[in-house]
Structure 1
Amino acid sequence: MNQPVPSAFLLEKYLNDQCTAQEKEVVEKWYASINGKTDYLDSLSESEQIRLQKETFDYIKTQIEKKETRTKTFSPAFIWLSGIAASLLIGLGFYFLNQRSENISPIAASNIQKEVISDTIYFQNNEPRMVMHKLPDGSSVWMHADAAISYPKKFQNDKRTVTFSGEGFFDIAHDKTRPFLIQSGEVKIKVLGTRFNVKAREKQKMLEVSVVSGSVSVTAPGEKNTQEVILKPQQKAFFEPKSKRLTFFEIPSQTKKEIFEPVTIVFEETRLTSVIQQLEQRFETHILLVNPAMYNCKLTADFEQQSLPVILEMLCTSLEASYSMSENTILIDGNACK
């Protein structure tokens, strides 16, 4: 029986050598169940660990650039670590790139655009799926296709300001001394530390902000004076640029959650047909398999308080599959399971 897939948070702790002995055992048992190799890191010398870190970064960079013709030989230790790193490619890939932005500027990629212009970083998600982007203060944003964000390489001492367009789910690191400000068109969003979703797509007639936790201040210009609303969890604000009208509503209780809201769900040798049914029952989404042969695949995983984007990343990593997303419809593509 396969070991449950650890959470992305636990895998990140493992890669950063921050796990307790018990947590380390959980991760290594999981990886042993799919690869049969353990305790590589403990057996490496300091120089080998440094080399391994470099190889990991090269691997992530290669995945982002997606140059299929490029080949490279990696050490057995790296192959072991990359199996874990693959689960965190989106979350940690840009973390490593941000850490090394001093030496890699700009970064050009076929489907992901990230540029460093002077002291400003610009990032755009050109993938057909959601991508998680890390910010300098530890905050993160799950960005839908075509979403774009720009921000300084280093935030100011008294505030953290970004410019955003498209749709994205923000998870802001709490810092009461430096409020987090998002400028999106004519609308400004101010938070201290919270989780919320922003829809500011150019083709839509309205900008939308909905809060999962904490509170958010939304301000926008009115016909005469500036308008402001304070949003709490389960509240949503709308701004219509044409009429300059800012309104907010209570989000009615519903059985299905938005894709960015966290859930806890466990799969134990569960057929993919049942996995999809359960995800569709939990989230406001529709999931289709491009390859019908995948319906016989099975999944063992324990997702604790995870949003749908995280679940999809881990699911696709386990099945060696990929997904694309259009509005609330998700297409999963991969090979038949053996």
Structure 2
Amino acid sequence: MNTNNTYRDIEGLITRHLSGEILMAEQEALDLWLLEKQENRKAFEEYEKIWRKTKDAKPVEKVDVNAAWQRFENAITNREVKEIPTGKVIGLFSRKVSRIAAVIVLLIATGLSFYLYNRLSNPEIHLATTATEIKVIELPDGTKVTLNGNSTFDYRKKLGKQKRKVHLEGEAYFEVARDETRPFIIETNETSVTVLGTKFNVNSHYKNKSVEVVVNSGKVAFETRKGNHQVVLEKGERGEYFKKGKTIAKSANNDPNFLAWKTKELIFENRTLADIVSTLNNVYHINIQIENKELELCRMTASFNNQPLDEVLEVIGLALDIEIKETNQGLVLSGEGC
């Protein structure tokens, strides 16, 4: 198992293990990681020590680093200056360095304690789907997320007081609860989508050459994570981020089946068999191949409403005089063409 593809960071697995909230599959992934090398085991033990020391801690007040450092400098400046024998200069310098180091260590330790407390009191929730699975998730703010197959979704138990930020790898349909004071932000590896309240689809599968956003209602801002390119999309519009060129294009959405994976409603108007098969592979999570190029260009018009795949293929087979063969890899469509 490649834990980097299945879980966004190993720290989340360790946290869920120590808090007793880890799932069986996650525990297996963590065990494999611990067995990979001795350094992993040492890192786990260090994290465990910090956990034990901080799990019962109360939130600490935010440390004003500048003020602490100023007090430290004032203490040194206001100290009575005396003539120092040459032989003692090195020793005094060493003691000053030690004091400075102690202050820095104290600040780091306090900041780390505050950071760990926030992480542990507001854990990250990780959800994943199998190839044929669809999950419906309701977030604490009332937002509804429908997660397509082969996808992962991460969010904090408390979404945030100023921003509601989540992370998606794969495809999902969002129905975001409106909140004018807290923008909802979906982050992918290279892009982000920011909204206040709307309905839209995001497809960010890592194998794809692009990230696609299609807006069903409302308005969204689609941009690169670096913030150097942004487009605003409204109902009926589609944005596409091209990973190779690092650019975003905006256009009208001419695909009536962009939500077919969720609704199972299919509309094909004079579409080529190649286009139809591509849609069926995404909607039914199957591998359908076309045997020859001539067959790919055959066109047909048909619509289907939540019908099983075998019924859809039967109609296509009769319409285009196609033979359907089952193999170990999936299905193969063959015929003489149109």
**TM-score, scaled relative to structure 1:** 0.43
Greater percentage in strand? 1
TM-score by length of 2: 0.43
Larger relative contact order (Cα-Cα within 8 Å, sequence gap ≥ 6): 1
Choose between structure 1 and 2: higher helix proportion.
Answer: 2
Bigger Rg over Cα: 2
